[in-house]
Chains A and B, each alone.
Chain A
Amino acid sequence: MLYETSPLAIAIFSVFVLSVIGLSFFLGRKGQSAQGYYAAHGEIHWFVNGIAFAGDYLSAASFLGICGMIAFYGYDGFLYSIGFLAGWVVALFVIAEPIKRLGKFTFADALDSQFNSPGIKLAVATSTLVISIFYLIPQMVGAGDLISPLLGLPHTAGVVLVGVVVTLIVVTAGMVSTTWVQFIKGSLLVFFCGVLTVMILNRGLIVNAGGDAAVELKPQVKTVCPDGTRLIDGEPQSKTHDLRPVGTIKSLPARYAGQASTGPLGPLAYLAAIEDSTIVTWSSKKHTDAQGVHTTYSPVERSGKDLLKPGGYFKGLTTGTLSDKLDFASLMLALFCGTASLPHILIRYYTVKDQAAARKSTVVGIAVIGAFYVLTLYLGLGAMVSGALDPTSSNMAAPLLAKTFSTTLFAIISAIAFTTVLGTVSGLIMAGSGAVAHDLVENYFQIPLSDHEKVRCGKIAAVGLGIVAMVLGVAFRNFNVSFLVGWAFNIAASANLPALVMLLFWPRTTKQGITAAVSVGMFSSLTWILLSADTFEKVYGWSREASIVPFSQPGLVTIPLGFLVLIVVSFLSPRPTQRTG
């Protein structure tokens, strides 16, 4: 679909971006120490840090991706919400305090705190970089996807815009500005999603919102011709001839017989009403011929009952093959284990004063993130029945939903969606810059740096990473981004979690064990992914059957493998010298 570029959206957007950059310059004016650049002097208040966790963690995948998935497929998107949040339980109960106790600036500091081993430094710095880069790609691609329709700029411009703004934020004041950007973004995101949810509940369910039933239920065909022109139902696409927005209620529950809408509903009543309604969702089918690539969008009537249970997106759950079930279990395991293993989340622990603050900030984070994920269910379902979905793009579901209420809200939500990317990307670049400057240059290569030089090195690394991020965001522009986020979680959980958990709870852990676990976890999960059916099909364009691994998400195999390797290698290497527990 083509979008009206909204001047209001551009204006609000520019205000956000300029304020954030201005704030960064202001915060960076004080001379900086390494402690300030990497860890915000350890002075961030636990409440602020808790909200910053939310701002760091809730990326475009959470906001746009999950809402879009729920809007198009129903319950399955909510499973991602549940999995993402459950990971914070691991963070709180297993990781938060020990990480704070053990480390100084980066995750490698924590794992290496008892050993002082170059092997560990190298392995962990590498895994941090790999994970951060994998996580960066979907954010940058998502930014481009957002910017193009909203500002009327080409995809590349969106990617470059994010890259430049984030690099400015990180280079001017490092972790201090990153923290405040994440705090602001986290607050705005949750607040406005709350506003949107209240409006959804107040609207209730309306039959056939936004449309004329006779026209609405005809299939639509989008054609991309070999020369690049786009046709809708055979005619060239233009502002006046475009795909119709979709997603409506066909019939309300029996108790509303005769009414065109339910009126305002409470949170539970809303869900119950959807369960008993019939909803028109849309399927898409592609086929290619001499005229081009045709995608046919056809209406499919589904009962709310079917939409509010698993199986809409994870089709394998209903068809029931063992490998599909293992794939699902593997994904849920990776989400559970992955959150607490993400480098950009772990470094947030170094910005607070002490372990008690680390714990309290995690609790605040859980509260805010949990509340947000509850809201995603309403946003997704509200979008599903809004009559305003773009059948070609699930990422636009949330902004388009906002548009049905008011253009101002649309402008605000779009601007927030963009700052969502800023918050997460700056966290990722901080983590990467720490890995390069602190773990590799200073600690592994043992290049002595004065405090001032450490900061300079970090900034140069940040610029380098910003450039890499921009290049990759453009290179991967056509990729399915949630696929890449899943990769990052699997690699993080496989490489980082076994080492961290065993270091904390098993005194026999040796430095060789940690190095081996991190390396094997990272390489095995990466290799598995590169050999999986999903990758064969979507990345190389080969047939799924040719893949040699039984299912696509490696976590179920590679996470236990990490633990196993650590245990075996630790037993095979000399006992560690006396350590603190």
Chain B
Amino acid sequence: MLLMSNSKPNDLNQSSASARIGLVLFVIYVLLYAGLIGIVLFRPELLSTRPFGGVNLAIAYGMGLIGAAFLLAIVYMIACRIVEGSPASRQAASPGVVGKKQHRD
């Protein structure tokens, strides 16, 4: 059974490059998210401090996480567009990509 796919053969190179960028950005976000949870669990008194003189850290960090998600998303989109536009990615991908045989049980 052929793989149900919308991608062409040379999408594979692009996909792995985008996937790698995605993973890096993902790990960054995981660290930021874990950071907030860590502070909540282990140093909660920090959350009432007011680093910018206005709102407290709890709110600033929370809003920051929401903003960071969007920011990282934009960075990702731009990075993928660059990767997909580059000449290297348009070379033919490794053979044997299309038409995998699959065994029935």
Contacts and interface: CB of A to CB of B under 8 A. Distances in A.
A530 interface: no
Interface residues on B, range: 35 or more
5 contacts: A325-B41, A360-B77, A362-B73, A363-B73, A377-B62
B16 A581 contact: yes
A33 B6 CA distance: 19
Interface centre among A93, A119, A311 (most CB of B within 10 A): A93
B92 interface: no
B15 A374 contact: no
A377 B63 CA distance: 10
Interface of A: 75, 78-79, 81-82, 85-86, 88-90, 92-94, 97-98, 100-104, 109, 113-119, 268-269, 271-272, 275, 305, 308-311, 317-318, 325, 328-329, 332, 336, 353-356, 359-360, 362-363, 366-367, 370, 373-374, 377, 511, 577-581
Contact of A272 (B54, B72, B97): B54
Contacts of A79: 40, 62
A325 B40 CA distance: 9
B69 A370 contact: yes
Contact of A308 (B41, B59, B103): B59
A355 to B, nearest CB: 7
Nearest to B52: A268
**Majority secondary structure, A binding face:** helix
Contacts, number: 160
Nearest to B6: A354
Nearest to B5: A101
Given A86-B29, A101-B7, A309-B47, A93 B54 contact: no
B18 to A, nearest CB: 7
A92 B73 CA distance: 8
B88 interface: no
B82 to A, nearest CB: 13
Contact of B76 (A81, A93, A101, A116): A93
A355 B59 contact: no
A102 B44 CA distance: 43
Contacts of B58: 75, 308-310
Given A275-B56, A317-B44, A366-B73, 10 more contacts: A86-B69, A101-B11, A115-B102, A116-B103, A268-B54, A328-B40, A328-B41, A332-B33, A363-B74, A577-B101
A336 B3 CA distance: 30
A314 to B, nearest CB: 9
Contacts of A328: 37, 40-41
Given A82-B66, A309-B56, A93 B47 contact: no
Contacts of A310: 40, 44, 47, 58
Contacts of A92: 22, 73, 76
Contacts of A90: 26
A114 B26 CA distance: 26
A305 B77 contact: no
Given A355-B6, A577-B102, A116 B1 contact: yes
Contacts of B22: 92-94
Given A271-B54, A353-B6, A355-B11, A578 B100 contact: yes
B96 interface: yes
B3 to A, nearest CB: 6
B26 to A, nearest CB: 4
Interface centre among B67, B72, B97 (most CB of A within 10 A): B72
Contacts of A113: 3-4
Nearest to B74: A363
A580 B54 contact: no
A89 B72 contact: yes
